[in-house]
């Protein structure tokens, strides 16, 4: 047991995850160099999780590990029989799904189906020409679902995909979407998962049935989506940006604040990690919504607001840096945060990145506030040795993204930052410079929207945003 | 009314000299008691001839009621010969006292007929009407006939209702039946004539005839039986009627005899008038002290309820006597129901109920509820009890109630409970807040609370949702604003009184802590209650959370409830509760040291300058308010013990303003910018204070704050702190030690900021150590504060780590540059607005991500602002 257990979120996250996803978290915990929990505890937990699935071989293996441990039910289920049953069921389901598959796999049909958007008509078409009933289509869903329960994620994903093309039922579709997202995550198909998240978000935000529109149901669905999407966002290459977009959109922000404040850690991490991406250029938005203008500022605000019911070293770092300007405190937090990141299932791949970016932020603030800085002191603030600190500073100056004109005075062991004295005229120019251009961009977006409306096609918003994004690029140039 | 009084006075003044006469009557009247029939015959002629002695006059009045009935032609003259009839009338009135409690035969126009029994009067009217009809029929005026016939039917209907207790034969006066038969014949005849004559009547008349034809047909059908009886043998019918009526009047007579005898015995000098009337009351009741009498008296009281001239005090007295004699649980429940509502009726015209009367009402209500809850579970008091004969004793499983295991009694417990509770508030409103009497009355809250809890459990057991939620609401309202210690006391008494009972809503076997209780009650209301109660429950819950210092929970609940959008449509009591909740939230923010939040929460209430009214803690006189409005507002006021300390509130608000406004004021350079104040009330006070040439020693809280503000502006933080902390008000807050410490620190920090803003233009650089020393802050926090100011571009400066100084970059702006900068800023704001608008238009989320909560507060402010406009009008 170490001091970091208190920062471990696994137990907070698991209730919002699917068994199979939770399993991944637990497996990660067993692989840690410095284990947070005793191995026995973890094995027991794993076994309890797997027992509920149809992954019988795995369950059997785990059952042998935990046998005889305290608190474990001694009467083990009969795995051989279970296995037999599972196989039979698979076969039966496969058989029932076969006719549909046959029809769909016919390229001619696939072409016709792809052309039409209307599911109702698709179904009619199939019924008329290929004698497919709704029950047979639903068999796809059941088979997909069953495959998922025993770990056949790829199969599950593909069956559910086909089912989604055909099925008109809202409830089953929603369930299938969740299933497919899960399967995609577990297969590591991040692109597919990302688009699945987008679909699910549409589903949740525009509920189809009265039952799905209940605030409670929506809240829960959103909480789930937030949790599940972590898997995607921290694996997909554009994930961090997408995470910020999703998590900071009003509905999901509220969900997070009410139901899952612990997710703030990931938002903060994403904001810090995404610093370079956001600073360099406005990346085209991944999930199809607007980009966040200044994620760090917004996230800081939220962190301060939610401080009373969630705080950890990672959120604390942001608060110390931007809320209290307590550099020593921030430095201390960063030291703890390193280990916390190492332990975290989602963030452990990003530890180095995070630290780098965090240092960057600290130095940015430091340089903006100070005129002359003691290098030794500065290095200490960055958790670096004096020499490393010097190198770091040199890099910082060279990579002059800060817009800082800084020089190192080695004899005095100090960094001298000269800030051009801003004349009132310069300030004035600074404020007004972009105005005309921004207005133009607005105008452009509006006319484009008008045209799009006249043309009668959707995607008006895309046009508008495109205008803005393009504008941002030109401005940079 | 006035006529009634003069008459009453007149007759009573005569009573003085007549009482002795009456004493002498006893002997003779007792004889006559046995031979009523003979006496009656004698008196049929009494009205016409002058009567020499008083005894027979008295007798005559007895007979009069019946003699009028049977002889149609002698009735009108009884009013004519006033002289001799006068004493008789008095006696009659006297009689009536007994009769009315016995039988209650008066109608609303009784005022005029104090003298004559109402029944007689009505019969007179019947006869008059019949006469008019006869007259009209002679000249064939069918319009008049039709109208009078309607009147006649109405009269009969009334007659039947009031003499429902009498024997069936007495229901149909032969006069009436005869008139019916005659009319029928007449109509048949005239319609025949009409047919033959073709055109003789004008249109209106013909119409009248036609409608009469319809009406008489219907009426004949209604009175089929008596008419048949009359047709076969009219004499026998008349005889039967007379007999029936006589029985009643002889009863009256007997009662009168007995009463007179008693009065004679009692009247050993003293005020005869009072004695007379008192005795009658007693005499009347003495008759009813049997178990059957309980119901009769109850019925008569029920009927007289709400009439103008009912003596409410008397009613209550009778009822409490009845309560003593009520034997069975059924009787007791009935009497209790009646007496509680009678007591509540008593105060309808008063500002509030007399305290002792309220106390007894509470005791009785409690008794009633306890009876129903524990001892007499087989009885239910419900609003939909259905029809039942209220003159009969009802026992479950017996007699009429054979099939019912439980007896249902008509009545609404929840209404009684709510009225008693409301009266409690009213008595408190009308008591001097600082007197010991107030405390005395407040002490009654304990039994009241107990009663409410009992009622709640009773309703819960019966499974009535609506009354349960109303009772729970009342309970919650008693609890939510009280400190934990007081709630503990209330709960302890309640749970002691309710051992053995169970409740789903909150565990009553052990006293609950205040927070758990409020939570349990509120959650129950969220689940089941209608929207209004839910809103109120939510506000109470938030209020409580804020009061005990759970600021974040309270704030989140308030924002999540979205009440600020809809509160201006709520009723005024709820709006007041909302205001109270908001204010309490502001206090909670202050207690937790969230100055900014506190200021913005309280700002709305204070900028109106009508804090007192918004919180219903006092009224302000305005020239345009009418007295009625003022009375209405007074009624809304909260009782003193629920008030939020306004001085404390204002101090908290002004101190928060001081901490926010002063640095801001110092940071603004142009007058233009300075005009935009965050808090107008504070600004105004500050300007006032600036204008004063001399500042005396601070007396009020405001003086303290103003002088502290002045000190803060000059950088004298120690003086500011001492002034603020020397206020005694802080001790009113729980945990005042921690709060004042936090406050002192905040004053230090904000003084530093103010100092930097104010004096930055005069320095090139400032040593951090010097600042830390001057403001006794650790160097680290000085750096933090200045860093923040630099980072957010408030202060044009930078830190020099090597020398440990702040270096200021001072930029002087010319007037033109200033204006240009302002213009540029405005243009930028415009573009930003445009972009936001575009965002909304394009549908990528209705607002910016940070909008969620911040906007909530903003809207709350707006909602409050709008409501203030209509608030107390």
In the numeric block, which tokens belong to residue A269?
A: 């991490």
A126-135: string of b/e by CB count within 10 Å (b at 16+)? beeeeebeee
| B540 — pLDDT class (breaks 50, 70, 90) | very high
What is residue B584's predicted lDDT score, i.e. its pLDDT? Answer: 92
Banded model confidence at residue A422, pLDDT cuts 50, 70, 90: low
Give B13-23 pLDDT, tens digit per residue: 444 444 444 44
What 3-state class would DSSP assign to B288? Answer: coil
Find out whether B286 and B129 touch, Cβ atoms under 8 Å: no
CA distance B692 to B832: 43
Looking at the predicted structure, is the pLDDT value of residue B543 above 90? Answer: yes
SS3 state at B798:
strand
Residue A293 has what pLDDT? 57
Nearest to A374 among B780, B801, B813 (CB): B801
Label the pairing between strands B805-808 and B765-767.
Answer: antiparallel
> Are B852 and A298 inside 8 Å of each other by CB?
no
C-alpha–C-alpha distance, residues B603 and B865, integer Å? 10
Rounded to an integer, what distance in angstroms lies between the CA atom of residue A81 and that of residue B97?
A: 96
Contact B849 A428 (CB under 8 A): no
pLDDT in tens, B302-347: 776 666 666 667 777 777 777 777 777 777 788 888 888 888 777 6
Q: Angle at the Cα of A74 (from A68 to A78), degrees rounded to 5? A: 120
Residue B671 CA to chain centroid, in angstroms?
Answer: 54
| Whether B17 contacts B86, CB under 8 Å | no
Specify whether the CB–CB gap between B288 and B296 falls below 8 A.
Answer: yes
Q: What is the dihedral sign for C-alpha A453, A457, A458, A460?
A: negative
Check CB contact of B562 with chain A, cutoff 8 Å: no
pLDDT digits (tens, 9 = 90+) for B453-468: 888 888 888 888 888 8
Residues of B in contact with A432 (CB under 8 A): 824, 827-828
Cβ–Cβ contact B766 with A under 8 A: no
For Cα atoms B434, B437, B442, give the angle at the middle one, nearest 5 degrees.
Answer: 90
Chain A hits for B798, CB-CB cut-off 8 Å, are 369-371, 417, 419
Lowest mean pLDDT among A78-82, B21-25, B732-736, B861-865: B861-865
List, in order, residues 6 or more apart from B703 with CB less than 8 Å away: B696
Q: Are A172 and A138 in contact (CB under 8 A)?
A: yes
Find how far residue B696's CA is from the centre of its chain. Answer: 49
pLDDT classification of B108: cutoffs 50, 70, 90: very low
Confidence (pLDDT) at B751: 92
**Exposure class string for B596-623: b at 16+ Cβ within 10 A, else e:** ebbbbbbbbbbbbebbebbbbbebeeee
* Tally of CA atoms within 13 A in the half-sphere of B281 that contains its CB: 16
Residue B382 is inside which H or E element, if any? strand B379-382
Out of A253, A257, A439, whose CB is closest to B834? A439
Q: Which residues on chain B are in Cβ contact (under 8 Å) with A361? A: none
Q: Which of B420, B378, B369 lies closest to B396, judged by CA?
A: B378
Nearest to A371 among B799, B821, B838 (CB): B799
How many angstroms separate the CA atoms of B26 and B19, rounded?
A: 11
User: Is residue B405 scored above 90 in pLDDT?
Assistant: no
Cβ separation of B814 and A248 shorter than 8 Å?
A: no
Rounded to the nearest angstrom, the minimum Cα separation between B835 and chain A is: 7
Q: Which two tokens stand for residue B798?
A: 């930078």
Contact B841 A449 (CB under 8 A): yes
Nearest-angstrom CA–CA distance, B811 and B865: 40
For residues B835-860, b (16+ Cβ closer than 10 Å) or e, as one string?
beebbeebebbeebbbebbeebbeeb
Q: What is the per-residue pLDDT for B165? A: 55
Q: B55 pLDDT exceeds 60?
A: no
Can you state the percent helix, strand and coil of chain B, rounding each to 5? Answer: 75, 0, 25
Enter the tokens of residue B335. Answer: 């009497």
Nearest CA-CA partner of A244 in A273, A221, A220: A273
Nearest by CB to B821, from A326, A371, A427: name it: A427
Summarize the confidence of residues B703-713 as an average pLDDT: 89
CB–CB contact A461 B844 (8 Å) = yes
Contact A290 B851 (CB under 8 A): no
Asked if residues B791 and A369 have their Cβ atoms less than 8 Å apart, the reply is yes
Question: What's the pLDDT tens digit per position in A261-280?
Answer: 899 999 998 888 876 544 44
Token pair 């959109």: residue:
A249
Token pair belonging to B249: 């009047």
Nearest residue in chain B measured CA to CA from A255: B852
Q: From its phi and psi, is residue A184 left (phi > 0), alpha (psi between -120 and 50) or beta?
A: alpha
Q: Is pLDDT at A401 greater than 90 in this prediction?
A: no
The distance of B814 to chain A (nearest Cα, Å) reads: 9
B784 touches A at CB < 8 Å: yes
Q: Do B817 and A425 touch (CB under 8 A)?
A: yes
Sheet architecture: strand order including B805-808: A405-409, A414-418, A370-374, B797-800, B805-808, B765-767
User: 0.80 exceeded by the pTM?
Assistant: no
Confidence of residue B759 (pLDDT cuts 50, 70, 90): confident
Say if residue B738's pLDDT is above 70.
yes
pLDDT class of B607 with cuts at 50, 70, 90: confident
For B418-472, what is each residue's pLDDT tens digit? 888 888 888 888 888 788 888 888 888 888 888 888 888 888 888 888 888 888 8
Q: Is the pLDDT of residue A77 over 50?
A: yes
Which chain A residues have a beta carbon less than 8 Å from that of B802? 372-374, 412, 414
How many inter-chain contacts (A to B, CB under 8 Å) are there?
125
Q: Which of B820, B842, B844 sits opposite A449 (nearest CB)?
A: B842
pLDDT at position B586 is: 92
Is B831 in Cβ contact with A435 (below 8 Å)? yes
Q: State the pLDDT confidence band at A167, using cuts at 50, 70 and 90.
A: confident
Give mean pLDDT, residues A64-70: 73
Structure tokens at B26: 């006893």
pLDDT, residue B583, reads 92
CB contact under 8 A, A435 and B802: no
CB contact at 8 A, B294 and B335: yes
- CB under 8 Å to B590, separation ≥6 — which residues? B598, B652, B655, B656, B739
C-alpha dihedral, B314 to B317 to B323 to B324, nearest 10°: -140
In this prediction the ipTM stands at: 0.75
Q: Which of A433-437, B92-96, B589-593, B674-678 has the highest mean pLDDT?
A: B589-593
Q: Considering only CA atoms, which of B645, B800, B806, B662 is closest in space to residue B729?
A: B645
Q: Which residue of B has its CA nearest to A419?
A: B798
Average of per-residue pLDDT across A39-52: 82
Taking only the tens place, the pLDDT of each residue in B650-677 is 899 999 999 988 888 888 766 666 777 6
List pLDDT tens digits, range B193-225: 766 665 556 777 777 777 777 777 777 777 777
**Cα B503 to Cα B784: distance, rounded to the nearest angstrom:** 55
């Amino acid at each position: 047991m170490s001091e970091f257990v208190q920062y471990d979120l696994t137990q907070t996250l698991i209730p919002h995850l699917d068994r199979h996803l939770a399993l991944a978290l637990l497996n990660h915990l067993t692989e840690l160099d410095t284990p947070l929990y005793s191995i026995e505890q973890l094995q027991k937990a794993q076994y309890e999780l797997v027992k509920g699935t149809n992954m019988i071989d795995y369950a059997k293996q785990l059952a042998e590990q935990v046998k005889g441990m305290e608190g474990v039910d001694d009467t083990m289920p009969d795995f051989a029989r279970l296995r037999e049953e599972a196989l039979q069921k698979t076969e039966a389901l496969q058989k029932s799904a076969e006719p549909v598959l046959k029809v769909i796999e016919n390229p001619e049909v696939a072409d016709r189906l792809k052309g039409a958007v209307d599911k109702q008509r698709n179904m009619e078409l199939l019924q008329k020409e290929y004698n497919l009933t709704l029950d047979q289509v639903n068999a796809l869903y059941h088979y997909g679902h069953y495959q998922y329960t025993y770990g056949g994620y790829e199969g599950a994903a593909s069956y559910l995909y086909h089912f989604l093309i055909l099925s008109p039922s809202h409830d089953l579709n929603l369930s299938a979407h969740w299933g497919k997202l899960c399967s995609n995550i577990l297969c590591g198909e991040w692109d597919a998962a990302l688009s699945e998240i987008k679909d699910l978000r549409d589903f949740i935000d525009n509920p189809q049935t009265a039952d799905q529109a209940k605030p409670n149901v929506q809240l829960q669905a959103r909480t789930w989506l937030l949790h599940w999407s972590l898997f995607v966002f921290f694996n997909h290459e554009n994930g961090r940006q997408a995470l910020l977009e999703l998590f900071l959109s009003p509905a999901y922000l509220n969900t997070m604040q009410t139901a899952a404040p612990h997710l703030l850690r990931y938002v903060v991490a994403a904001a810090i990690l995404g610093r370079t991406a956001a600073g360099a250029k406005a990346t085209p938005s991944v999930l199809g919504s607007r980009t966040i203008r200044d994620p760090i500022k917004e996230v800081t605000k939220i962190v301060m607001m939610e401080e009373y019911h969630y705080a950890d070293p990672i959120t604390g770092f942001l608060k110390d840096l931007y809320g209290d300007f307590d550099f020593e405190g921030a430095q201390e937090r960063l030291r703890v945060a390193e280990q916390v990141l190492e332990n975290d299932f989602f963030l452990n791949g990003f530890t180095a990145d995070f630290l780098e970016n965090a240092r960057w932020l600290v130095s940015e603030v430091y340089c903006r506030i100070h005129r002359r800085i003691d290098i030794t002191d500065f290095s200490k603030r960055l958790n670096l040795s004096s020499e490393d600190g010097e190198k770091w500073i040199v890099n910082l100056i060279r990579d002059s993204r800060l817009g800082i004109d800084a020089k190192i005075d080695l004899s005095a062991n100090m960094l001298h930052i000269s800030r051009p004295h801003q004349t009132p005229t310069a300030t004035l120019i600074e404020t007004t410079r972009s105005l005309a251009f921004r207005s133009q961009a607005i105008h452009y977006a509006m006319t484009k929207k008008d045209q799009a409306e006249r043309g009668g096609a959707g995607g008006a918003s895309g046009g508008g945003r495109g205008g803005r994004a393009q504008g941002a690029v030109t401005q940079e140039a | 009314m006035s006529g009634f009084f003069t008459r009453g006075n007149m007759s009573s003044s005569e009573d003085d000299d007549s009482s002795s006469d009456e004493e002498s009557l006893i002997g003779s009247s007792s004889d006559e008691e046995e031979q009523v029939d003979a006496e009656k015959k004698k008196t049929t002629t009494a009205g016409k001839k002058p009567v020499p002695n008083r005894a027979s006059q008295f007798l005559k009045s007895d007979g009069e009621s019946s003699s009028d009935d049977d002889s149609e032609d002698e009735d009108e003259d009884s009013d004519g010969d006033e002289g001799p009839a006068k004493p008789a009338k008095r006696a009659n009135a006297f009689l009536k006292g007994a009769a009315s409690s016995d039988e209650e035969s008066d109608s609303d126009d009784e005022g005029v007929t104090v003298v004559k029994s109402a029944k007689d009067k009505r019969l007179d009217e019947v006869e008059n009407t019949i006469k008019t009809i006869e007259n009209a029929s002679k000249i064939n005026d069918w319009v008049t006939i039709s109208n009078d016939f309607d009147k006649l039917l109405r009269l009969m209907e009334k007659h039947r209702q009031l003499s429902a207790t009498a024997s069936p034969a007495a229901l149909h006066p032969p006069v009436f039946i005869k008139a019916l038969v005659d009319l029928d014949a007449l109509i048949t005849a005239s319609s025949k004539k009409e047919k033959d004559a073709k055109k003789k009547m004008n249109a209106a008349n013909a119409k009248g005839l036609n409608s009469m034809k319809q009406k008489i047909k219907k009426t004949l059908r209604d009175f089929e039986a008596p008419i048949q009886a009359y047709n076969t043998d009219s004499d026998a019918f008349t005889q039967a009627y007379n007999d029936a009526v006589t029985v009643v009047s002889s009863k009256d007579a007997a009662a009168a005899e007995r009463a007179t005898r008693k009065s004679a015995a009692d009247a050993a000098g003293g005020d005869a008038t009072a004695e007379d009337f008192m005795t009658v009351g007693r005499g009347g009741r003495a008759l009813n002290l049997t178990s059957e009498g309980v119901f009769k008296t109850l019925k008569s009281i029920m009927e007289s309820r709400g009439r103008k001239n009912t003596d409410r005090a008397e009613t209550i007295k009778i009822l409490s006597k009845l309560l003593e004699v009520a034997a069975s649980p059924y009787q007791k429940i009935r009497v209790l129901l009646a007496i509680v509502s009678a007591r509540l009726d008593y105060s309808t015209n008063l500002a509030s109920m007399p305290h002792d009367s309220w106390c007894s009402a509470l005791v009785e209500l409690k008794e009633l509820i306890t009876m129903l809850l524990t001892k007499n579970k087989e009885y239910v008091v419900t609003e939909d009890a259905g029809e039942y004969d209220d003159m009969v004793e009802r026992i479950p499983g017996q007699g009429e109630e054979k099939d019912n295991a439980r007896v249902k009694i008509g009545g609404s417990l929840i209404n009684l409970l709510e009225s008693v509770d409301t009266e409690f508030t009213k008595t408190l409103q009308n008591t001097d807040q600082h007197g010991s009497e107030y405390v005395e009355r407040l002490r009654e809250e304990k039994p009241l609370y107990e009663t409410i809890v009992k009622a709640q459990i009773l309703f819960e057991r019966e499974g009535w949702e609506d009354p349960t939620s109303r009772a729970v609401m009342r309970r919650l309202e008693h609890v939510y604003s009280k400190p934990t210690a007081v709630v503990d006391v209330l709960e302890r008494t309640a749970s002691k009184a309710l051992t053995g009972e169970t409740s789903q809503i909150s565990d009553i076997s052990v006293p609950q802590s205040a927070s758990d209780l409020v939570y349990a009650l509120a959650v129950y209301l969220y689940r089941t209650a209608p929207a209004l109660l839910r809103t109120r429950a939510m506000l109470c819950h938030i209020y409580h959370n804020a009061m005990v210092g759970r600021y974040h929970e309270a704030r989140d609940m308030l924002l999540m409830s979205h009440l600020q959008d809809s509160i201006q449509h709520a009723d005024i009591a709820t709006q007041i509760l909302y205001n109270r909740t908001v204010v309490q939230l502001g206090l909670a923010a202050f207690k937790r040291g969230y100055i900014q939040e506190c200021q913005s929460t309280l700002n709305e209430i204070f900028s109106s300058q009508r804090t007192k009214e918004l919180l219903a803690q006092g009224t302000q006189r305005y020239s345009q308010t009418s007295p009625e409005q003022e009375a209405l507002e007074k009624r809304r006021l909260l009782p003193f013990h629920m008030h939020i300390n306004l001085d404390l509130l204002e101090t908290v608000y002004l101190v928060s303003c001081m901490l926010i406004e002063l640095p801001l004021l110092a940071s603004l350079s142009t007058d233009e910018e300075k005009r935009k104040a965050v808090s107008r009330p504070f600004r105004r006070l500050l300007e006032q204070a600036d204008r004063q040439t001399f500042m005396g020693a601070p007396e009020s809280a405001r003086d303290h704050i103003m002088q502290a503000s002045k000190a803060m502006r000059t950088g004298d933080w120690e003086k500011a702190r001492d002034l603020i902390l020397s206020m005694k008000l802080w001790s009113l807050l729980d945990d005042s030690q921690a709060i004042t410490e936090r406050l002192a620190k905040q004053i230090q920090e904000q003084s530093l900021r103010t100092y930097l803003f104010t004096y930055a233009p005069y320095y090139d650089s400032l040593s951090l150590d010097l600042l830390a020393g001057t403001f006794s802050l650790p160097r680290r926090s000085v750096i933090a504060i200045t860093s923040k100011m630099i980072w957010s571009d408030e202060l044009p400066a930078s830190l020099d780590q090597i020398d440990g100084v702040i270096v200021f970059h001072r930029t002087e702006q010319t007037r033109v540059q200033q204006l240009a900068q302002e213009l540029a800023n405005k243009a930028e704001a415009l573009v930003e607005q445009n972009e936001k608008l575009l965002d909304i238009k394009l549908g990528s989320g209705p607002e910016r991500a940070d909008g969620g909560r911040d906007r909530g507060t903003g809207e709350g402010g707006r909602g409050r602002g709008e409501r203030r406009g209509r608030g107390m009008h």
